[in-house]
Amino acid sequence: MLAIEIEFLTGRYAATAHNDRGRAEWPPHPARFFSALVAALHDHEEVDVAERAALLWLEQQGAPSLWVDLGSRVGRRQVHDVYVPVNDVTLIGDPERALREANRKRAELAESGGPTKELKAAERLIEKELTKLDEFVRAQQVVESKPSDKALAMAVALLPERRTRQVRTFPVVLPETPTFAFLWPTADASPHRTALERLCARVTRLGHSSSLARCHVVDRDLTPTLVPCDEGEVVLRAVGPGQLERLDRAFDHHQAFHSRVLPARPQRYGAASKAASPSPMAESVFSADWVLFERVGGSRPVASRTTDLARALRGALIELHGNRDLPATLSGHAESGPTEQPHVAFVPLPFVGNEHADGSLMGCALVLPRELAKDDRELLLRLVGRWETERSDQRGNLTLAAGTLPPFIVRRVDVSAKAALDPTRWCRASTRFITATPIALDRNPGNLRSNQDGTARRAALEAQQNISDACVRVVGARPCSVEVSLAPLLPGAQHVRDFLPWPGRPGRTPRVRVHADIHFETPVRGPLLLGAGRYFGLGLCLPVEDT
């Protein structure tokens, strides 16, 4: 067992929740702690090989359990807006940027065994940039007897009272017990213990610089209060394989100068007592393993453009490789035609299910099948990486456009602050699901709008049976009741008539589409994607509380 204990020396924890700037994060997220260890790793100019190996080992151990105070024993300080002067780097820029670029180029050449001539040129460039930086620093220390108007204006602008102010909040948690621990019950840390102890000894804070912390590896047995659990109500940011490399790449991009988002993956947690003996439940053929793209600009279409955006996303990836060479689990096609086995779904994600929801598409996701082979998953991620490398701009933004769809600009993210882009929101277990986008029925149920001779009633019963059969195919369980409607059943969802015909291809009969309210006898784990258009964002169902 590996247990790392953290004590807040001032009795307070200052860290802003990633999805709510007015609320403090509690309990501390494992991804935040791992980043603190990585910061300690880079305290030295030369990275310790043993310490780096220890972090590479730690990221492979999965999400840790927590021994931590929860609930009523945790106090929260009232949050007020504070207007803070912006950093003066907005005036003097980033004078070390060119030097960092030169150092990175030399390191790349040295690692790849590049030509000696280019390596020497890179070293000369570093010497040149060091000289320029030295001259810049000396120039800042010289007092001019007759400064220019420009120098006076800059000096005045550097004064805090003259700088532009931005609103900041400083939410704080005051736990009754200022000590908590991350636990890996099955991990054997003995080969890396010494390196982990050195790293922990150099961690001086967690979260904001004001929340000073003492961190060390302990030997005593601790009983977890919060454990990873698929049905848990608490969502924390955790890490997985490749996290250290992602953090290194992120730093190369932002250099502690530009804004950034902590790379992480969402993990549900539940109380240890409730997670001790989980009962088996039906689960979707789709997994919670999603590749997320968040909208960062361009048009703001609503859910009725779901299929257009899904086709644009699929086209952007498939055109880089081609259908023929892709496995059926990625392309959705076999030699004989469309495959029957579950494959990757291209799912736009609308803002629904909230009193303020407007149905706009906040982004999209590649939803992977639960049984996707490791090689196929790696191929998909290579396609995504190639798409980003070849088609993104300097900020990593990608543009999706197809047909009449205006440009929709996205960026791949690990975790988003937007609820619509939280996979755990769509994938949690529930006994009740309501459609966010209508289901395209596999069979024509008849005229749902007819008022003659009970035609609409018979068509509704046929539609209910159709959806019930679809549930069996996707989750292996038949619902106890299904109600259908042409009107939306969730706040922000759109009427069936607003959606384009599906499949919308020449010579193909349009499918009948309906919204549905689906109940199961026992909880079913999502994500629930139903009907003929489920691989293109139709039939997306939101788990809701059965009230």
SS3 412: strand
- Using a 10 angstrom Cβ sphere, with 0-12 exposed, 13-18 middle and 19 or more buried, the burial of residue 504 is middle
Determine the Cα–Cα distance for residues 494 and 438; give it in Å rounded to an integer: 9
Residue with tokens 């047995």: 221
Determine the Cα–Cα distance for residues 279 and 73; give it in Å rounded to an integer: 30
Which helix H or strand E contains 69, and what residues bound it? none
Q: List the CATH code of the domain at 283-421.
A: 3.30.70
Same fold: 2-78+170-275 with 283-421: yes
Burial 4-43 (b: 16+ CB within 10 A, else e): bbbebeeebbbbbebeeeeebbbbbbbbbbbbbbbbbbee
Distance of CA 280 to the CA centre of its chain: 27
Which helix H or strand E contains 350, and what residues bound it? strand 345-350
Q: How many CB atoms within 10 Å of residue 300?
A: 12
pLDDT tens, residue order, the chain (547 aa): 899 999 999 988 988 887 777 788 889 999 999 999 999 998 877 888 999 999 999 999 989 999 998 765 677 766 777 777 766 554 556 677 777 777 777 777 777 777 778 888 888 888 888 888 888 778 777 777 788 887 787 777 777 777 777 767 778 888 888 899 999 999 999 999 999 999 999 999 998 888 999 999 998 888 899 999 877 778 888 998 888 888 877 666 555 545 556 778 888 888 887 655 556 788 999 998 899 999 999 889 999 999 999 999 998 888 766 666 788 888 887 777 778 889 999 999 999 998 889 999 999 999 999 988 888 888 888 888 888 888 888 778 899 887 777 889 999 988 887 889 988 889 988 999 999 999 999 999 998 888 787 889 999 999 999 999 999 999 999 999 999 999 999 999 999 999 989 988 887 889 999 999 999 999 999 899 999 999 999 999 999 975 5
Instruction: Give the orientation angle of helix 49-58 with respect to helix 243-254, to 10 degrees.
Output: 120
pLDDT at 257: 46
Distance of CA 459 to the CA centre of its chain: 41
Helices (H), 89-174: 89-92, 97-112, 116-140, 149-158
SS3 125: helix
Residue with tokens 């049905």: 231
Q: Which fold has domain 2-78+170-275?
A: Alpha-Beta Plaits (3.30.70)
Domain range list for the chain: 2-78+170-275, 89-167, 283-421, 423-543
Bridge partners (DSSP) of residue 438 are none
> Which region, left, alpha or beta, applies to residue 343 given φ > 0 means left and ψ of -120 to 50 means alpha?
beta
In this structure, the chain runs to a length of 547
> Which region, left, alpha or beta, applies to residue 177 given φ > 0 means left and ψ of -120 to 50 means alpha?
beta
Determine the Cα–Cα distance for residues 220 and 3; give it in Å rounded to an integer: 8
Assigned token pair, 470: 């679809």
pLDDT at 253: 57
pLDDT at 274: 64
Determine the Cα–Cα distance for residues 463 and 383; give it in Å rounded to an integer: 38
Residue type, 89: V
Assigned token pair, 283: 């689960």
Bridge partners (DSSP) of residue 333 are 338
User: Do 474 and 528 touch, CB atoms closer than 8 A?
Assistant: yes
> Which region, left, alpha or beta, applies to residue 454 given φ > 0 means left and ψ of -120 to 50 means alpha?
left
pTM above 0.75, yes or no: no
Helices (H), 183-327: 193-202, 243-254, 272-275, 306-318
Determine the Cα–Cα distance for residues 343 and 329; give it in Å rounded to an integer: 4
Closest CA to 218 of 257, 256, 183, 265: 183
Residue 28: is the preceding peptide bond cis (ω within 30°)? no
Closest CA to 386 of 318, 331, 329, 297: 318
Closest CA to 384 of 309, 293, 249: 293
The correct CATH number of 423-543 out of 1.10.230, 1.10.3470, 3.30.470, 2.60.40 is 2.60.40
Distance of CA 306 to the CA centre of its chain: 20
> Which region, left, alpha or beta, applies to residue 227 given φ > 0 means left and ψ of -120 to 50 means alpha?
beta
